[in-house]
Every structure is written in structure tokens, then in C-alpha cells.
Chains A and B, each alone.
Chain A
Amino acid sequence: MPVSYDHKAANALEIQGVGRRFGGFWAVKDVSLTVRPGERRAVLGPNGAGKTTLFNVLTGDLVTSAGTIRMDGADVTQMPMHKRIKGGLRRTYQHAHLFNGLTVRDSLFLSVCGVAGGWQRFMPLRLNDGAVAKAETLAQLSGLSAELDREVANLSHGQRRQLEIGMALAENPKMLLLDEPAAGLSPSERPRLAELLLSLPKHITIILIEHDMDIALKTSDSVSVLHNGQLLAEGTPENIMSNEAVHKVYMGGAHGH
């Protein structure tokens, strides 16, 4: 077989005609996107636009109803979620799905083991285990060093969001999907989150759903706007801010935040 140069391989994410149907309703329909490695992309759109569904399809939480998803040039459309994670993809959830019965340390530890391997070990841990040290580094990165031994169920809302991000940063992710990381944060916590996002290594591709315009536009270099499950507009933050159609469906129509 002749080896051909695949120019698509250069893209961190390339999706073509992706759709997800629930019964007769297309929550996401015919969405095509290209994201370059290291790009910071914000996904905007009013409630019900299909942003989270798009994320669920990208990670494999939901099966794709139509279209293809390529990550790093490889077709992952049929790949189970945990294998996509091993390939460098990470995500956070809008409503924190965390291990409430475990401590912060154990949650971060498992996130490291999930990618690096070693979760299958059934002997009690040695204290000098490498994954534990990595978990402690993650805690430092996400500002949870003081909470390492706390049970996740007892964390504050803001700390839960920090843990979400800490878990997603385990083992050098290539691409991060952040689903409303600022949701429910107090105004004083928000700048800290923006700072954390901006401090992430530049080679990580980040796709961000965020209702907080301040955070979304400050941390991203391009924006995609979804409306009724379809791609409405794409461009730089400045372009999007001045886009008529976007103003109509989103900026103008967004109440209550």
C-alpha cells in the first residue's frame, strides 16, 4: 500500500457532519469543525443549543448517530470512551461527576492510574508509589493541596470544580474538553479559574463551553457558535462579538446570567 501524506493528521480534532439523534430529535446536526493543535476554542450557544451533547459525542459518552470524528488524524468515531482518554483526550462535566466516597488524593490518583496504567493492582499501595506523587502534583496545580485527605463529598462547590479540572489534567492530556468550568463559581473565584486556564501548557488543545463571556473570550483564540444543534458561526472572538446573526440568537437572547 502506498504511503500517502495525510494532511488532516495535522489537526487535533476534525469532525465531519457529526450528528446525534434522540428519537426524532437531532440534538446535534451536521456539525463540522476543525481544531488545530494547541488551539483554544470556545463553544458558545444558548441553552439547548447542543453544546454538551456535542462534547458527549466527542468523548464517547454518547454514540454518534452520523458523521466521523478524527483526533490527531485517527478515526475515533467507533472508539470506546476509555480508549479515547488513553489517546490524550480529557473532559470535565458541567455537573460535577465525582467519586463522592473517595478522598481528593484517591480521585486524582485514579485519574493518573487510568491513563498511565496500574489501577488493576490489588495489593495495598506502597507509600512511595509514583502515581501518588503525581496525584499530589495535580492537587497543587488545581489548588487542592490542603484538601488531599478530604472526602470529595465534603468539598465546596468551587473545590469540586477545581477537582474536575485537576482530574482532567492527569498524565499530559493533548486535548481538554471543559464543560462550563465556571458554572456556579462566585465572582471572586472566576478570575482564578481564568488564570488557571491561561496557565495551562500551550501545546494542550482546549475546547471550552462557557456562559461567562469574560472567561470564554479571554481564554480562547477562536469561537464556534451553536444554535439548535447546528453550527451558526465561527471566527475570532472579535468577529463573533460583531456578528449580527450571533447577536440575534445568543447575545440578545441570553437572559439570566
Chain B
Amino acid sequence: MRTAFYLLPLAMAPLFANDFWLVQILGRALSLGVIALSLTFLAAYLGVVSFAQTTMAGVAGYTVAYFGPNTVDVGYELPFYVILPLAMIMATLSGALIGLIARRSQGIYAIMITLAIAVAFFYFTRQNYSVFNGWTGFSGLRAPDIAGINLRAPVPFYLLCLGVAALSLVLVNGFIKSPLGLTIQAVRDEPKRVLAIGIPTTPVIVAAYAFAGFIAGSGGILNIWLQERISSFSVGLGPIVDILVIAVIGGLKHPIGAFIGAIAFVLLDTFAVDFIDRERFNTLIGLVLLAIIMGAPDGLHGLAKSWLSRSAKRPAKIKT
């Protein structure tokens, strides 16, 4: 019901929005939103803030770049129906591996260790030429034709982004109600007690990170098809912080927050140049973030929710 409320106007967007809005605003926001969703998932249900979500997305992106058509003559070309599952598997495995490394860390330590992994991956992609093509990375990455539909065209690409975003939301909402999803939330609340009911915590944490890797990977693929390139800059500190900012602006408590944050972020990112210098964008986004953290710690989603419940609960005038 509530999903339809968000989905309907978005599904009808191709009827009134031009290509720029479809691809550069909404398509971009949805693909960033999917990556941010993987962060929100870990934050809300495992209770861990991970800085490595861009890395997991990047693993999927690099897999598609290396095994798909590109203009830099690195890698092999495989058919898309092999590449896409392979990219998702690689992203999921990267999530599992990062989870295995970070499994004992919480709070600030989880942030530190995932950030360390992400930065190490960034430098690795920059220095390795045989697989990651170093500084230059890959360009000329093109979305394939699937079932006769050209996914590079604005409307199909936008609908693909919307479909993936909706599907990943449905996936997260279903997963958290599954036995494994409940166990993940139990680990968030009381890891000790999880052991005391006979469940080892390590596989639970690794599974949560792997699932986050799967979600991040699907966003990562959309993102490189949109950008048509990937390089070390795509997995560097800038994009890492962008994803965190998106998740925090939207609200870390509910999966939908990731998409609300992504739309706000992309709108700011695109239109702020009309009012301020390009170099001032970080100042602006910093101020917005500060305002959110101080004024609405649960993000825009939390803010909207409390407004809605306040106006619903406003008592009728009492007759005396």
C-alpha cells in the first residue's frame, strides 16, 4: 500500500519527465539509492555502519567492465547472461569477505575497519593495471540489449533502475522477516544471547554483509551503465562519503530512507551549481548534513514520519 504510494508517480515519470530528468536525476538517484540501501540495511538490522558499500558496488562494476564490452582492451568479452550473474556473485562474495574481516567490530571500530578496506581497495585498483587498468580504469561500458530492448535508451534504462530499486526494497523487506533476517536483528540486539540459544554469530554476520554485497552490487552495475565508465575514482573516498551522506540524509532506520536521501542528494548535486560555485558543493552538502543530524537525526524519512503522525494525532478541539 505504502510502496504503491511511492512507486506510482515514479512509474509514471516517463510520461511527463524528459530524458535528462529520467536518467540524470531519477535514474542516478535510484542507482545510488540501491547502494545506499545496502548501507541502511546493515545499519538498521545489523546495527553496523559500513563504509565498504561502494567497494562492494565497485566489485560488481569492475566485473561487468572486465568481462563486458569496453574501449580499453582489457579483459575478456563474455555474453551478458554470464557477466551479470558473475558480477552479482562477486559482489556477494566481496560482502561476505568484508563481513568476515569486520565480524567482531562494532560502532566506531566497524567504521574504521570497513573504511580501511575500502581505501585499500581504492589504492589497489589505482595501482593494478592487469585487472583494474589502474588510474584510467574502464570506459565505453555500455548496457546490453536484453530481449530486444536497448537498455541504453533513456526510458528502458530508467524503468530498469526503478525495477531494480523496487525489487531490492521488496527483497530487503522479505529478508528481514525470514528466520535468517530475524537472527541478524537478534545479533544486533544481543549477540551473547544468540550464542545462548545455540546459534553461532559469525555466519550470521557474514550472511548479513553478503546480502548487503548483493544489493550494493546491483546498484553498482546500474551505476556503471549510467556513467559508462569505472575507475579508481568510482570507489574512492568521494563516492564512499556520498553514499554515507545519502543514507544519513534519508534516514538510517528504514530502507526507504536510502531512496529519499538519494533523490535529495542528486537534486542538490545537480542544481546547486545554479546558485553556488561548483567548489562550494561540499560546503553545502556538509551544511545540509549538519542540519539533518542536529534537527532530524532519523533523516528526511524520520522527519516526514513524525510530521505525518503529528498531524494525524492532532486532537480535535475540546469543548468545555
Contacts and interface: CB of A to CB of B under 8 A. Distances in A.
Contact of B196 (A59, A106, A122, A125): A59
Contacts of B104: none
A86 B175 CA distance: 25
Nearest to A117: B198
B183 interface: yes
Nearest to B47: A101
B179 A97 contact: no
Contact of A167 (B180, B197, B203): B197
Interface string B291-317: 000000000000000000000000000
A80 interface: yes
Contact of B190 (A59, A60, A98): A98
Contacts, number: 96
Contact of B179 (A82, A86, A107, A118): A118
A124 B180 CA distance: 9
A45 B194 CA distance: 29
A97 B197 CA distance: 11
B151 interface: no
Contacts of B198: 82, 85-86, 114-115
Contacts of B181: 122
A114 B204 CA distance: 12
B288 interface: no
Given A99-B186, A101-B185, A122 B193 contact: no
A140 interface: no
A101 B211 CA distance: 20
A123 interface: yes
B130 interface: no
Nearest to B192: A97
Contact of A93 (B182, B183, B185, B193): B193
Contacts of A139: none
A257 interface: no
Contacts of A82: 195, 198-200
Contacts of A111: 197
A115 B194 CA distance: 11
Interface residues of A, number: 36
Contacts of B190: 97-100
B40 to A, nearest CB: 15
A102 B199 contact: no
B179 A170 contact: no
Contacts of B178: 121-125
Nearest to A59: B196
Q: Among the interface residues B174, B190, B211, which one has the most CB atoms of the partner chain A within 10 A?
A: B190
Contact of A98 (B179, B182, B183, B189): B189
A125 B177 contact: yes
Nearest to A164: B193
Interface string B157-192: 000000000000000001101111111011011101
Nearest to A103: B182
Q: Among the interface residues A80, A100, A109, A114, which one has the most CB atoms of the partner chain B within 10 A?
A: A114
Contacts of A115: 197-198
A81 interface: yes
A144 interface: no
A110 B189 CA distance: 13
A101 B44 CA distance: 11
B196 A81 contact: yes
Interface in B203-228: 203-204, 207, 211
Contact of A119 (B174, B179, B188, B189): B179
Contacts of A120: 179-180, 203, 207
A31 B203 CA distance: 34
A28 interface: no
A33 B207 CA distance: 40
B42 to A, nearest CB: 15
Contacts of A122: 175, 178-181, 207, 211
Contacts of B175: 122
Contact of A85 (B179, B196, B204): B196
Nearest to A92: B196
Contacts of B183: 110, 113, 119
Interface string B86-127: 000000000000000000000000000000000000000000
A66 B203 CA distance: 30
Given A97-B190, A119-B183, 17 more contacts: A81-B196, A82-B200, A85-B195, A85-B198, A98-B193, A99-B189, A100-B189, A102-B182, A102-B186, A102-B189, A110-B197, A113-B199, A114-B194, A115-B197, A121-B178, A122-B181, A124-B174
Interface of B: 174-175, 177-183, 185-186, 188-190, 192-200, 203-204, 207, 211
20 contacts: A61-B192, A61-B195, A80-B195, A81-B196, A86-B198, A93-B193, A100-B190, A101-B185, A106-B182, A107-B186, A110-B197, A113-B183, A114-B194, A114-B198, A120-B179, A120-B180, A121-B180, A122-B178, A131-B179, A170-B197
